Amino acid sequence: MKELVEKIRKIFSDEKLELLIGYTKGTLPLRSTPGLIESADEADKLIFDFTCCNNLAKYLVDEKKRSGNTHRIGIIAKGCDARAVVQLVMEGQFERENVVIIGVPCKGVIDPSKLRKKLNGKEIIKFKVNRDKITLFGKNFELELNKNELFSDSCLSCRYPNAVQYDYFIGEPSEPLGVRDEYASVDEFEQKLPEKRWTYFEKEYSRCIRCYACRNACPMCYCEECFVDRSTPQWIGKGNDLSDTIIFHIVRVLHTAGRCVDCGACAAACPLNIDIRMLGKRIEKEVIERFGFTPGLDFETEPAMATFKENDKEEFIM
Amino acid sequence: MKDEFKPRIIGFLCNWCSYAGADLAGTSRLQYPPSLLPIRVMCSSRVDPLFVISAFLRGADAVLIAGCHPGDCHYQEGNYYARRRFACVRKVFETLGMESDRLRLSWISASEGPRFANVITEYTEKIKKMGPNPAKKNIFL
Ligand code: SF4
Ligand code: SF4
Ligand code: SF4
Ligand code: FES
């Protein structure tokens, strides 16, 4: 952490940053919180470890909206945060020169819903990490786990743990965890009969309370007014109706198609541990196969949904 | 015979080609099943996936989006974007376990009256075989 803090201090003054978006310690064990640093002196608040599950690019768009895109902002970036920044630049959300990407090697982050499931309502007071193992301590209990059991599914199969595009990189690049094949879960899921797939999603989505935390955590959901909040026309009802919930999930996934960087921030934000990833991941695969596009890798390739090829596959056209 | 299933297909037809194609089919007095409820849009790319979902929600058995042939879009490129967009929509439906064939695209020019009649006839037959949209009952409760 010392190296991080010192380097950030230097970058802060070298680059004459007005703001840096990073992670600071959370108020609960195993949680971190996004932190806005306004001067080099504050840099010692910064942390980076396996609790940093937010996608900070979200705060960058928010800040750019607030400040009108003029000043330079630094951002600490895991592989997925950096990809989100690149995609946002490609979408014209802010200028490349107004953001300083500071890559940090990511070794995977905790998915809070997995932690919640393991704890089953119990509270942890502290934890101890010993290489791949983590021990959680609470009142009258102690639980030893493999770290992978807590890591987000996105991390277990992540291809880009290090920022692909960056201005600075602090530390040694990480190897991908490679616990799981990237599309293993969607491929397996696709083998199921349509009715089974439907039942699965129905079960998942029927628990959704439409708190929209998943949308709010997503760097790609920056619409001034989300379609779910619109009243003219009102696309979906406000109540707890399953069809409305399903419309939200279908449209959210379509709006993030070819843009989602699979950071897992949406899943991490969901208070009900709903499987938000499966559908998005399947569409990500479709976009790669059909259009050959992976979001956020470079500043040259046009994003999939903002371009076309004359000979795009059209087997569904009559 | 009385209970025969008559599919209701919502058609989003682009103003410049397919709507004119439909008109031509009409003025040429071509026969095709009265299953299509046409809605005129300025371009196939004007169709928001929400239109499609709303159509299903309100009881449509199928949705057909028809526009100009590739290269002929009045706005040059609209139909190419629509093609990409609806490829994704179909995949989402399919992944969810819905029947993605209830959503189709077609390229029909202003001079293709007979083609318009054929597409509607063919699609109506197909949807007849598939039966009423189960999403009406199951998915959109
Ligand atoms: S965070 Fe979870 S509960 Fe909230 S809207 Fe998203 S899926 Fe639903
Ligand atoms: S949809 Fe979820 S995984 Fe994808 S970019 Fe948004 S927050 Fe990240
Ligand atoms: S769900 Fe769609 S409309 Fe809503 S904020 Fe995200 S991208 Fe915008
Ligand atoms: S105007 Fe006909 S498809 Fe664009």
Distances (CA, A) of A272 to A214, A248, B125: 11, 16, 43
Chain A residues near residue B106 by CB distance under 8 angstroms: 317-318
pLDDT tens, position by position, A66-124: 887 678 999 999 999 999 999 999 999 999 999 999 999 999 999 999 999 999 999 99
**Over pLDDT 90: what percentage of chain A?**
91
What is the β-pairing status of strands A73-77 and A99-103?
A: parallel
Q: Which CATH class is domain A112-150?
A: alpha beta
Residue B141: pLDDT band with limits 50, 70, 90 = very low
pLDDT tens, position by position, A130-157: 989 999 999 999 999 999 999 999 999 9
Which residues partner with A193 through β-bridges? none
Q: How far is the CA of A316 from the centre of ligand 4 (A)?
A: 18
* CB contact B57 to A (< 8 Å): yes
Residue B78 corresponds to which amino acid? G
Report the pLDDT value the prediction gives residue B138, as an integer from 0 to 100: 59
pLDDT tens, position by position, A10-45: 999 999 999 999 999 999 999 999 999 999 999 999
The b-or-e profile of A88-115 (16+ CB within 10 A means b, else e) is: bbbeebbeeeebbbbbbbbbbbbbbbbb
Residue B139: pLDDT band with limits 50, 70, 90 = low
Lowest mean pLDDT among A207-216, A232-241, B29-38, B61-70: A232-241
Give me the residue spans of the domains in chain A: 2-111+151-306, 112-150
Report the pLDDT value the prediction gives residue A71, as an integer from 0 to 100: 84
* CB contact B31 to A (< 8 Å): no
Q: Give the distance from residue B5's alpha carbon to the nearest chain A alpha carbon, in angstroms.
A: 22
Chain A residues near residue B119 by CB distance under 8 angstroms: 318
Residue B30: pLDDT band with limits 50, 70, 90 = very high
Sequence-distant (≥ 6) Cβ neighbours of residue A69 within 8 angstroms: A94, A95, A98
Q: Give the distance from residue A309's alpha carbon to the nearest chain B alpha carbon, in angstroms.
A: 8
Ligand 2, atom 1, lies closest to the CA of: A260
Residue A231 has, within 13 A of its CA and on its CB side, a CA count of 0
Q: Which domains does chain B show, CATH number per domain?
A: 9-134 (3.40.50)
pLDDT tens, position by position, B40-90: 999 999 999 999 999 998 889 999 999 999 999 999 999 999 999 999 999
Residue A200: pLDDT band with limits 50, 70, 90 = very high
Which pTM value belongs to this model? 0.94
Choose among A252, A87, A309, A298: nearest CA to B84: A309
Mutating which of B91, B107, B121, B127 best tests the A interface, going by the most A Cβ atoms within 10 A? B91
Average pLDDT rounded to a whole number, residues B123-131: 96
Residues contacting ligand 3 via CB (< 6 Å): A 215, 221, 223, 226-227, 251-252, 255
Mutating which of B58, B90, B95, B121 best tests the A interface, going by the most A Cβ atoms within 10 A? B95
Q: How far is the CA of B132 from the centre of ligand 2 (A)?
A: 35
**Over pLDDT 90: what percentage of chain B?**
87
